[in-house]
Amino acid sequence: MGKRFKISEQPMISLQKELRFLVETHLRFIYDEQSYPDLDHAQLARKLIKIVELDEQCLKPAVHESLWDEQDVLVITYGDSIKKEGEPPLDTLNNFFNKHLADTVNGVHILPFFPYSSDDGFSVIDYTQVNDGLGDWGDIEEIASNFDLMADLVVNHCSSRSRWFDNFKQCKEPGKNYFFECDPSADTSDVVRPRTSPLLREVETLEGKKYVWCTFSHDQVDLNFANPDVLCEMIQIIKLYLDRGVKIFRMDAVAFVWKELGTPCIHHPKTHELVRLMRTLIEHHSPRAIIITETNVPNHENLSYFGNANEAHAVYNFSLPPLLLNALITGSSAHLKAWQMSMPPAQEGTFYFNFIASHDGIGLRPAEGLLQDQEIDTLINTMQSFGARISWRAAQGGLNKAYEINVTLFDALQGTTKGPDKWQIQRFLCAHGIMLALEGIPAIYIHSLVATNNYQEGVELTASNRTINRYKWDADELETQLATEHTHHAKVFEQLKRLISIRRGQQAFHPNATQFTLHLGDQLFGFWRQSIRRDQSIFCIYNVTDDTVTIPLSSINLISLNKWVDLVSGQEYTDLHLDLVLEPYQFVWLTNKIAC
């Protein structure tokens, strides 16, 4: 990732003048003169530019240029998802990646690796340190030297055990005015919540009782970006991460950053402007750096973070996991197909970040408006029968609604609405075959890569549903499982590596290559990809049912003058008057050009 970029030949003085104008324009929108009559926007702009050291040297990024190609594939993992006694987990992780994945993936997302107090890292105590239980900055830099490193920028909140919050309670800086306060009598009924816990937390300070805003939990206290000092702190953190080798910034829970009473306090226009400001500063320092926004919300809201190709470089494709899961357990691609047809191609210079499993769960908000309530209930009931847990959120009217399904993807795909069956591995590979071929860049969760089962014991130990998909592998045990041919871990691992390797060799799988949906009936899910140079086509066709499905090859509109080969099986299709027969969950990548 980040292979091509152009450095402007514009004189440095002119470029810095342009940068100051851009930053000041962002700031005048965020801190409008009516609300901040005494704020010196030009001075604040100069301060931010100095923090990132752009007053000494800055680069102008190319406009609307794709910094990625078909070879980009990431793995998502915690720093201690694989552990070995007597060895820093980050070293263990790096060794595992170098041994098994150096030729398979080129990027790694290490989930929050900072000191924390809860939420497995997302309640950050100190943004500037590496959790000493994982390793140190040297370990992070070593991984960043081998792979494109993606790190979390936890912008919305920090830990109640942080120095900033301790200072808040003691009414001293830095921290005194770093957190969003709210009168408990204020009307917050319009506020969108991702959790069921009370929104406000009562806190004893040296100035008496205060009430702070907690979107996610009372240990995760929301930062107040209405205070420009908080913005300066976050920009300093960004600069630190850039210096340590971070290339991809995952803006965690960014949708909730700006609060204004009387609004839903989600997707505020000033939130979008903050993202644009951070992008401006980041890309003028490192033109190859990438911003990804994490917004687990309905599809149309999620897409808004592309802006006009001037906001996030990428958005998480949050609707894909629940729709794909629904298709594979019901045997119907109808909703998945309808959604894909409605998705606009990512503008040049942007891409979809595709995933089908994560450290959290399978979000249900992104399925709102795409699946009917009864269909969501069926999905939930089926997953619960496979051992899944359900997390809830507070909805309007005092009701609770299902927020996400907590389950490992391997166990989620152990059967259909009819119950468990013998097609678990095939179904699981089919799911990844879809993700790997879709427009965008794929990211595979470490526990999907090695087919981890539900960690029920962990849920009991932590009382957190999300622990079900956060197992910590012993490195030696994992090596044994992967080296033993008959284990499902080894079978899945080798097959996924093979599929990834095939994907990385096809120009038609470029993240921005053309994509059209095929209409082959609900038992099949299909789409056509064409390389940017139009010299390679790939027809991706998937049987999403537990039955054998047969269709005429002529229905796919293959050009008869070309020789067609299935990249997955190697089978050649020379007689286009024959039928294509797909066994349960079998899929083909039919191409007219063998690229590797």
pLDDT in tens, 348-370: 999 999 999 999 999 999 999 99
Helix (H, G, I), strand (E, B) or coil at 201: strand
pLDDT in tens, 39-70: 999 999 999 999 999 998 899 888 888 999 99
Q: Tell me the pLDDT of the chain averaged across its residues.
A: 95
Closest C-alpha among 159, 96, 97 to residue 127: 159
Does residue 229 lie within any of the structural domains?
no
13 pLDDT above the threshold of 80: no
Backbone dihedral region of 466: left (phi > 0), alpha (psi from -120 to 50 degrees) or beta? alpha
Does residue 424 lie within any of the structural domains?
no
Token duo for residue 414: 């152990």
Does residue 526 lie within any of the structural domains?
yes
CA neighbours closer than 13 Å in the CB half-sphere of residue 292 = 25
The answer to whether 504 is a known ligand-binding residue is: no
The predicted model gives 224-239 an average pLDDT of 98
**Do residues 350 and 435 lie in contact, with contact meaning Cβ atoms separated by under 8 Å?**
no
402 backbone dihedrals φ, ψ, rounded to 5°: -60, 130
**DSSP summary character for residue 256:** G
Name the percent of the chain lying above pLDDT 90: 91
**Do residues 67 and 1 lie in contact, with contact meaning Cβ atoms separated by under 8 Å?**
yes
* Residue 252 a catalytic site member: yes
Token duo for residue 161: 């055990």
> What pLDDT score was predicted for residue 557?
82
Q: Of 148, 152, 252, 546, which one is the catalytic site residue?
A: 252
Q: Which residues of 92-130 are buried (b: 16+ CB within 10 A; e: fewer)?
A: bbbebbeebbeebbbbbbbbbbbbbebbbbbbbbbbeeb
**Do residues 255 and 271 lie in contact, with contact meaning Cβ atoms separated by under 8 Å?**
yes
Does residue 272 lie within any of the structural domains?
no
Query: Cα-Cα-Cα-Cα dihedral of 481, 482, 483, 486, to 10°?
Result: 70
Distance CA 76, CA 356 (A): 11
The answer to whether 234 is a known ligand-binding residue is: no
Distance CA 403, CA 405 (A): 7
Does residue 560 lie within any of the structural domains?
yes
The answer to whether 251 is a known ligand-binding residue is: yes
pLDDT in tens, 413-444: 999 999 999 999 999 999 999 999 999 999 99
Q: Which helix (H) or strand (E) holds 573?
A: strand 572-573
> What pLDDT score was predicted for residue 399?
78
513 pLDDT above the threshold of 60: yes
The answer to whether 252 is a known ligand-binding residue is: yes
Record the pTM: 0.95
The answer to whether 470 is a known ligand-binding residue is: no
4 pLDDT above the threshold of 50: no
Q: Where are the beta strands (DSSP E) in 64-147?
A: 74-77, 82-83, 107-110
pLDDT in tens, 245-302: 999 999 999 999 999 999 999 999 999 999 999 999 999 999 999 999 999 898 999 9
> What pLDDT score was predicted for residue 10?
62
Structural domain count of the chain = 1
Q: Where are the beta strands (DSSP E) in 309-424?
A: 314-316, 351-354, 362-363, 389-394, 400-406, 415-416, 419-420
Does residue 199 lie within any of the structural domains?
no
Which residues, other chains included, contact 511 with Cβ-Cβ below 8 Å and sequence gap of 6+? 66, 68, 69, 70, 72, 346, 351, 352, 439, 440, 441
The predicted model gives 390-394 an average pLDDT of 91
Q: Which helix (H) or strand (E) holds 299?
A: helix 299-303
Q: Which residue bears the tokens 């190319």?
A: 62
CATH of the domain at 524: 2.60.40.1180
pLDDT in tens, 524-583: 999 999 999 999 999 999 999 999 999 999 899 888 777 899 999 999 998 888 999 999
Give the pLDDT band (50/70/90) at residue 8: very low
> What pLDDT score was predicted for residue 213?
98
Closest C-alpha among 406, 365, 381, 369 to residue 330: 381
479 pLDDT above the threshold of 90: yes
Does residue 565 lie within any of the structural domains?
yes
> What pLDDT score was predicted for residue 595?
58
Does residue 35 lie within any of the structural domains?
no
Residues of the domain holding 553: 514-591
The answer to whether 157 is a known ligand-binding residue is: yes
220 backbone dihedrals φ, ψ, rounded to 5°: -120, 95
Instruction: Report CA torsion sign: 105, 109, 114, 118.
Output: negative
